[in-house]
Amino acid sequence: MTHPSSQPRSFTRRRFLQNSLLGAAGVSLSSCGWRLADIQNQAPIATSTDQLHIYTWTSYSDDKLLKAFQGETGVKGITEIMGSNEEMIAAFEAGKGRVFSLLYPSDYAVELMHKKQYLMPIDETRVDDLETLLPNLANVGVIDGKRYSVPLTWGTTGLIYNSEKIPEPPTDWAYLWENQDRLKRKMTLLDDPREVFGAVLHHLGHSQNTSDRGQLQAAYDKLQELKPNIASFTTDAWREPLVAGDLWIAMGYSTDATDLMQENPKIRYVIPSSGTNLWVDTMVIPVTAPNSTN
C-alpha cells in the first residue's frame, strides 16, 4: 500500500517496532522449525542464515533501515514488493510463503490469515516499544490472547490530486462522477476491490461493510458508470504521471500522499466527506517462514 497517522512512514515509533520485529523474526526463526501442511504440503525453503526475506508494500522497503539492521546483526534483508493483500495471500498459498520470514498484511488480512492458520504467534518480549502504540491500536493483531501481528502504521484512503490541474479542491468521491467527462483517462482507482467498493458505497450513503445485495448491486452499477473514464486500476503506478500532469487525480493512501506532498507542493490530499476507510498495516511472521538452521 504503499500504504500513517497520517504521519510519514518514517514515523519513529514505526521504525522502532519494525527494527525490533526484524530482530524478533531472526531469533524466533533460528529456534523454531515451522511447517504448514495445508499450504500445498510444502516445507519452508532452506535459505542462507544471513538473509531475511520480506514481502512488503512499495514504500515500506526502507534501504537505510535494512542496512542498519545488517550492520547490527549481519543479516541481510531482501524485499519483494506486493501489490495488494489479496496478491500476497494468493502468492503465499501458491507456495511463496516458504521463502518469506516477514509479511506486511493489513488488519483485515491478518484475521483471514489467522483463520487459515498461516501465522506464527509473536513473542511480545522480543518486540521493543509495543507500549508506545496508540491505545486504539494496541490490540490490533491480538487474537485469543496471543499477538499475531504488530501494527506499524495507520492511515486513510482518499483522493490525491495535482492542484495545478485541479485548482478547486475536491471534497468527496462524488467529484469523480460529477467531473468524469473532464477527468476522462485522467484519474485512477486503487487495484483493490475492497477499497474501491467501499468508496462507492460511501458515495451512495451506505456502509462499506454492508452485505445488502441491493446496495452492493447499486455500487457495482455506479462503478460501471465511471469505469470507461478510468485510466487504470493501480496501487502505485499513478505517482509519476500525477506529478507530471498526465494524471490529475488518483485514489490512494494517506501515507503515499504525505510522502509525495513533501517532495511536490502541488500534490494535495483530501479525505472524502461522505466517508472512507481507516486502515492499519502490520507485520507478521508466517508459520512457513524459513528456519535459519535448515
Tell me which H or E stretch contains 103. strand 102-103
Most confident of 46-50, 84-88, 145-149: 145-149
Q: Where are the domains of the chain?
A: 12-154, 155-279
Cα 7 to Cα 255: distance, rounded to the nearest angstrom: 7
Q: Residue 63 CB: number of other CB atoms within 10 A?
A: 9
DSSP state of 106: B
Q: Which residues pair with 146 in a beta bridge?
A: 143
CB distance 88 to 103 below 8 Å: yes
**Fold adopted by 12-154:** D-Maltodextrin-Binding Protein; domain 2 (3.40.190)
Rounded to the nearest integer, the mean pLDDT of the chain is 82
Q: Is the pLDDT of residue 79 over 80?
A: yes
In this predicted model, which residue has the larger pLDDT, 127 or 222?
Answer: 222
Q: Is the pLDDT of residue 266 over 90?
A: yes
Q: Is the pLDDT of residue 31 over 80?
A: no
Most confident of 11-25, 65-79, 207-221: 207-221
For residue range 250-263, what is the model confidence (pLDDT) as tens digits?
999 998 999 899 99
- What pLDDT is stored for residue 131 in this prediction? 81
Question: What is the residue type of 149?
Answer: S
Q: Is the pLDDT of residue 129 over 80?
A: no
Using alpha carbons only, give the angle 9, 126, 17 rounded to the nearest 5 degrees. 10
Q: Is the pLDDT of residue 293 over 80?
A: no
Q: Are domains 12-154 and 155-279 of this chain identical in fold?
A: yes
In this predicted model, which residue has the larger pLDDT, 197 or 101?
Answer: 197
| Percent of the chain whose predicted confidence (pLDDT) is above 90 | 50
Most confident of 135-139, 216-220, 277-281: 216-220
* 1 band by pLDDT with thresholds 50, 70 and 90: low
Q: Which CATH architecture fits 155-279?
A: 3-Layer(aba) Sandwich (3.40)
Work out the average pLDDT over 263-272: 97
Q: Which residues contact 176 (CB under 8 A, 6 or more apart)?
A: 159, 170, 183, 187, 226, 249
Most confident of 106-110, 178-182, 277-281: 178-182
CB distance 271 to 192 below 8 Å: no
